[in-house]
Chains A and B, each alone.
Chain A
Amino acid sequence: MMDAAITREGLEQILDQALQDVTERTAGVRLHQDDQPLGEDLCTVHITFDKGFATSLTLCADTSLLVRMASNSFHEDAVTQEDLEEFSKEYFNVLCGKVAGAVFRATQVSAHFGPPVFYHGRYEPEGQEVQFVLTYSDEHSKGAQLIHHMARPDEGGAASSES
């Protein structure tokens, strides 16, 4: 499990650096950690690590933040629902790859993960419990939470990411 191979503080640092770096380089948006709660109009992207680590990562964000990031990245003023989902999945895929690379450099364990799944609203993966949450906001006070889940001890593995 990810926490068994790396300390929680180490993993939090990897996730924080990856999220800030990937967000700024793909979408030109700077996020900083704070405790501001998310709004009510949310989207979630979820990825399950299926080899190396029995864990999953979830990004739950204000829809308007993801729309702004998609607009910046695709150079489109108007972002469709399809654009939003496509951007969110590709962005989170790159983010998780960056995390997996950093974890590999720290532990020499190769972590593979499945395709990202997109949801409107907040999504809680079944059979998993939250290990920790990193909360961010941008300069417009729109926020995102990066959530690290692990399978509950009695579940025997990561839950399916399919809805």
Chain B
Amino acid sequence: MSKRIMMVDDSRLARVQLEDVLEGTDYQVAAYCRSGEEAIEQYAAVQPDLVTMDIIMRGMDGLDAAEIILKNHPDARIVMISSLAYGDTFDRAKAIGAKGFVEKPFHREQLVKIFEQALS
């Protein structure tokens, strides 16, 4: 049975790319949120196996949204996705309990490996 991903990203390019790289894998995008606020609202209804969370979005950023989701749902598994995967951003993502960090643009093998680690 496919693992259900909730993707949180305001980029159409990222959405298309994620769907492309997950084609033929055991993962499917079950829900798509264009903001951190929408993700917080939708999480309980969607109950995804994994959340992919962009960091820089309009409105609330992905780190703040991930922190709130993890506070409300401590068992949530969140992988941060960004082109800014370094330095203080990386440190804060680890500190709030993100299960991994994926750089844009996506690379299928890297993505699936980090998803597997996040779900193990």
The range of chain A's interface size is: 20 to 34
B83 touches A (CB below 8 Å): yes
Residue of A nearest to B103 (CB): A101
**Are the CB atoms of B16 and A110 closer together than 8 Å?**
no
Closest B residue to A112 by CB, please name it.
Answer: B84
Beta-carbon contact of A110 and B13 below 8 Å = no
Size class of B's contact patch? 10 to 19
Q: Are B87 and A110 in contact, CB atoms less than 8 angstroms apart?
A: yes
B83 touches A97 (CB 8 A): yes
Interface residues of A in 70-106 (CB under 8 A from B): 73-75, 86-87, 90-91, 93-94, 96-98, 100-101, 104-105
* Residues of A with C-beta under 8 A to B107: 25
Scoring B12, B14, B83 by chain A CB atoms within 10 A of each residue's CB, the highest score goes to B83
Residue of A nearest to B10 (CB): A90
CA distance A21 to B106 in the complex (A): 11
Check: B72 CB closer than 8 A to any chain A CB: no
**Residues of B near any A CB (own CB < 8 A):** 11-14, 16-17, 82-88, 103-107
List 14 other contacts, CB 8 Å, given A74-B13, A101-B83: A26-B105, A74-B12, A74-B16, A87-B13, A91-B13, A94-B13, A94-B104, A94-B105, A96-B83, A97-B83, A100-B83, A100-B84, A101-B85, A110-B87
Query: Which residues of A does B touch, CB under 8 Å?
Result: 21-22, 25-26, 73-75, 86-87, 90-91, 93-94, 96-98, 100-101, 104-105, 110, 112
* Pairs A–B under 8 Å by Cβ, sample size 10: A73-B17, A74-B12, A74-B13, A75-B16, A87-B13, A94-B83, A98-B104, A104-B86, A110-B87, A112-B84
